[in-house]
C-alpha cells in the first residue's frame, strides 16, 4: 500500500505546483496591462488625481510580489478584488465585489454543467461500449459518422439549429434561458433544457468516440483472447476481464470531457443568454474588466485541474500493479 500512497502524494504535489504556476499566469494579467489603462477605464476626462487614487486602490504602487501574496491570500478567503466597471472620471466608485458578481452565476453554471453531465455520461459510455463491441456493424458505422459530424460543428451551430427547431418553428422550449435565484427547480430544468441539450450533443460525440477507442484498445489485449478461449461469455469478458482494467481510461475520458464541458459552457451561455459565469467572463473581456476576467479564469482553471487530478488518482488506485506491489 505504501507505494500507492506515495504515487498519490506525488500527483497531488504536482497538482499544487500546477495551480501555483497557473495562479501566477492569471495574476500577471494585470501586470501586462499598458500603462494608460487607468485613463482607458475611468474615461478621457479623468484627472491625474483620480487615476492615481485608482492605481493606489489596486495596489499598483506596491511591489508585484507583495501584491501576488495578497491576491492569493484574498482568493483563498474568497476575495477576488473589485470590478473595474462602475467607476467614472469624477472618482465616484460604484464598483462591485468580484465575488458578489461571480457567486450566483457560478451556481447557475454548475447547475447547467451537472445537468448535462448527468444526461451525457451514461449515454456516451453506453454508446461507446456498444459500438466497440459491435465494431464495424451498421450501427457502429452510422454512430461513428454521426459523431464525427457533430464534433465538427461549432457549438453555436448546434445551439441555433435546436433553437430553430424546438423554439422557433415548434415552440417546445424557450429560446432564452433566463433563470434567477428564485426560479423553482422544475421551471429551471425546463428553461435550461435547450442549453443542456446542446452541450449534451457536443459532449456525447466526443466522449463516445474516446470511450470506443479506449475499449477497443482494451479488447485487443491478449488476455481478452485468452478469456474467450477459456469459454467466457461476451458479458463475462466485459464485466470480469475488461472492466477492472478500464477504470483508468474511462476516468480519463470522463474527466477530459467534463473539463471540455466547462469550456463549452461559455459559448452556450452566450447563445441562450444564460446568466452563468461564462457569459460574465465574455462580457468582462469585452469591457476589459480584468479583475472579473481573472476571477472567472481562476475558477475555470481550478475546476479543470481538479478534474484531471481526480482522473489521475482513480487511475492510480485501480492499477493492479500499484495496488499489489511486488
Partner 1 sequence: MSKDKTSQNILLQVKELQIEGFSDEKWHKIIKGVDLTLFKGEVLGIIGESGAGKSTLGLAAMGYTQPGCRITGGQILFNGENLARLSESKKRKYWGNRMTYVAQSAAASFNPAHRLINQTTDSTVRAGLKNRNDAFKEARKLYEALNLPDPHNIGNRYPHQVSGGQLQRIMTAMAMSPNPDLIVFDEPTTALDVTTQVEVLGAMRSIVEEFNTAAIYITHDLSVVAQMADRIKVLRYGEQVEEAETRVMLESPKEEYTKSLWSVRSLQKKEEVEEDIVLEMKSISAAYGAARVLFDVGIKLPRGRTVAVVGESGSGKSTAARVITGLLPPSEGSVMFSGESLPAELKNRTREQLQKIQMIYQMADVAMNPRQTVREIIGRPLEFYLGMKGELNRSRTIELLELIDLDESFIDRLPSELSGGQKQRICIARALAANPEVIICDEVTSALDQIVQEGILQLLMRLQKEFQISYLFITHDISTVKAISDQVVVMSEGKVVEQGLKSIVFSPPHPDYTQLLLSSVPEMDPDWLTNILKKRS
Partner 2 sequence: MTEKPNTYSALSEVGAIRENRTIFANIKISLLKSPLTARFGMVVILIYAVVAIFAPLIAPYGEAEVFPIPYAPWSSEFIFGTDQIGRDIFSRMVYGARNTVGIAVATTLLAFLIGGSLGLAAAINRSYLDLVFSRTVDVLMAIPQLIFALVLLSIFGSTVINLIMIIAILDSTRVFRLTRAVSLNVVVMDYVEAARLRGEGLGWVMRKEILPNILPPLIAEFGLRFCFVFLSIAALSFLGVGIQPPTADWGSMVRENASLIQFAKYDLKAGITPLLPAAAIALLTVAVNFVVDWFLHKTSGIRDE
Q: Which residues make up the interface to partner 2 (CB under 8 A)?
A: 18, 21-22, 25-26, 29, 32-33, 135-136, 145, 148-149, 151-157, 160-161, 163-164, 168-169, 175, 259, 262-263, 266-267, 270-271, 281-282, 284-286, 288-290, 293-294, 296-297, 300-301, 304-305, 308
Which partner in partner 1, partner 2, none is near 301 (CB below 5 to 8 A by kind)? partner 2
Helices 247-271 and 155-163: angle between axes, nearest 10 degrees? 60
Q: Are 161 and 77 in contact (CB under 8 A)?
A: no
C-alpha span between 209 and 162 (Å, rounded): 22
C-alpha span between 247 and 168 (Å, rounded): 42
In DSSP terms, 93 is beta-bridged to 87
Shortest Å distance, C-beta 218 to partner 2: 15
Helices 98-133 and 290-317: angle between axes, nearest 10 degrees? 40
Which partner in partner 2, partner 1, none is near 226 (CB below 5 to 8 A by kind)? partner 1
List the Cα angle 101/107/110 in 5-degree steps: 130
C-alpha span between 46 and 33 (Å, rounded): 18
Q: Is 274 helix (H, G, I), strand (E, B) or coil?
A: coil
C-alpha span between 107 and 276 (Å, rounded): 8
Q: Which is nearer to partner 1, 169 or 235 (CB)?
A: 235
Which partner in partner 2, partner 1, none is near 63 (CB below 5 to 8 A by kind)? none
Shortest Å distance, C-beta 262 to partner 2: 6
Which partner in partner 1, partner 2, none is near 145 (CB below 5 to 8 A by kind)? partner 2
List of residues 6+ apart from 256 with CB closer than 8 A: 210, 308, 311
Q: Is 159 helix (H, G, I), strand (E, B) or coil?
A: helix
Contacting residue, 221, 239, 263, 273, with partner 1 by CB under 8 A: 221
Build a one-symbol-per-residue string for 170-209: x at contacts with partner 1 by CB under 8 A, - elsewhere: ----------------------------------------
Q: Which is nearer to partner 2, 19 or 243 (CB)?
A: 19
Shortest Å distance, C-beta 184 to partner 2: 26
Contacting residue, 43, 45, 223, 273, with partner 1 by CB under 8 A: 223
In DSSP terms, 87 is beta-bridged to 93
Contacting residue, 28, 168, 217, 225, with partner 1 by CB under 8 A: 225
Q: Is 235 in the site for partner 1 (CB under 8 A)?
A: no
Q: Please identify which residue in the block is written with the cell numbers 439549429.
A: 161
Q: Which is nearer to partner 1, 152 or 234 (CB)?
A: 234
Q: Which is nearer to partner 1, 34 or 320 (CB)?
A: 320
Contacting residue, 36, 44, 230, 235, with partner 1 by CB under 8 A: 230
Shortest Å distance, C-beta 10 to partner 1: 20
Binding to partner 1 in span 243-262, by CB under 8 A: 244-245
Residue ranges of the alpha helices (H) in the chain?
A: 2-31, 37-42, 48-58, 64-76, 98-133, 138-152, 155-163, 185-191, 193-219, 222-229, 234-236, 247-271, 277-286, 290-317, 320-323
State how far Cα 26 lies from the chain centre.
17
Contacting residue, 35, 48, 171, 320, with partner 1 by CB under 8 A: 320
Helices 2-31 and 290-317: angle between axes, nearest 10 degrees? 170
* Neighbour count for residue 218 (Cβ, 10 Å): 19
Q: Where on the chain is the footprint of partner 1 (CB under 8 A)? A: 221-223, 225-233, 236, 240-241, 244-245, 320-321, 324, 326
Amino acid at each position: 500500500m505504501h507505494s500507492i500512497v506515495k504515487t498519490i502524494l506525488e500527483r497531488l504535489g504536482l497538482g499544487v505546483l500546477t495551480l501555483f504556476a497557473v495562479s501566477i499566469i492569471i495574476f500577471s494579467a494585470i501586470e501586462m496591462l499598458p500603462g494608460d489603462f487607468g485613463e482607458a477605464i475611468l474615461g478621457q476626462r479623468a484627472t491625474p488625481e483620480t487615476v492615481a487614487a485608482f492605481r493606489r486602490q489596486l495596489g499598483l504602487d506596491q511591489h508585484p510580489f507583495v501584491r501576488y501574496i495578497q491576491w492569493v491570500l484574498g482568493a483563498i478567503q474568497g476575495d477576488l478584488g473589485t470590478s473595474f466597471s462602475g467607476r467614472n472620471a469624477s472618482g465616484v466608485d460604484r464598483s462591485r465585489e468580484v465575488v458578489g458578481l461571480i457567486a450566483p452565476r457560478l451556481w447557475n453554471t454548475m447547475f447547467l454543467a451537472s445537468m448535462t453531465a448527468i444526461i451525457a455520461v451514461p449515454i456516451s459510455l453506453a454508446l461507446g461500449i456498444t459500438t466497440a463491441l459491435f465494431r464495424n456493424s451498421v450501427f457502429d458505422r452510422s454512430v461513428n459518422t454521426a459523431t464525427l459530424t457533430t464534433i465538427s460543428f461549432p457549438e453555436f451551430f448546434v445551439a441555433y439549429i435546436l433553437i430553430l427547431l424546438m423554439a422557433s418553428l415548434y415552440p417546445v422550449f424557450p429560446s432564452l434561458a433566463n433563470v434567477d435565484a428564485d426560479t423553482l427547480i422544475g421551471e429551471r430544468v425546463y428553461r435550461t433544457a435547450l442549453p443542456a441539450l446542446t452541450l449534451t450533443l457536443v459532449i456525447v460525440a466526443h466522449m463516445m468516440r474516446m470511450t470506443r477507442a479506449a475499449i477497443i484498445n482494451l479488447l485487443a489485449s491478449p488476455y481478452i483472447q485468452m478469456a474467450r478461449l477459456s469459454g467466457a461469455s461476451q458479458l463475462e469478458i466485459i464485466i470480469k476481464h475488461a472492466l477492472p482494467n478500464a477504470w483508468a481510461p474511462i476516468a480519463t475520458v470522463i474527466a477530459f470531457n467534463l473539463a471540455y464541458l466547462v469550456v463549452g459552457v461559455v459559448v452556450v451561455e452566450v447563445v441562450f443568454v444564460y446568466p452563468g459565469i461564462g457569459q460574465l467572463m465574455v462580457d468582462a473581456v469585452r469591457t476589459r474588466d480584468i479583475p472579473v476576467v481573472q476571477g472567472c479564469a481562476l475558477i475555470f482553471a481550478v475546476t479543470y485541474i481538479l478534474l484531471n487530478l481526480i482522473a489521475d488518482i482513480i487511475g492510480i488506485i485501480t492499477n493492479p500493479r500499484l495496488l499489489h506491489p511486488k
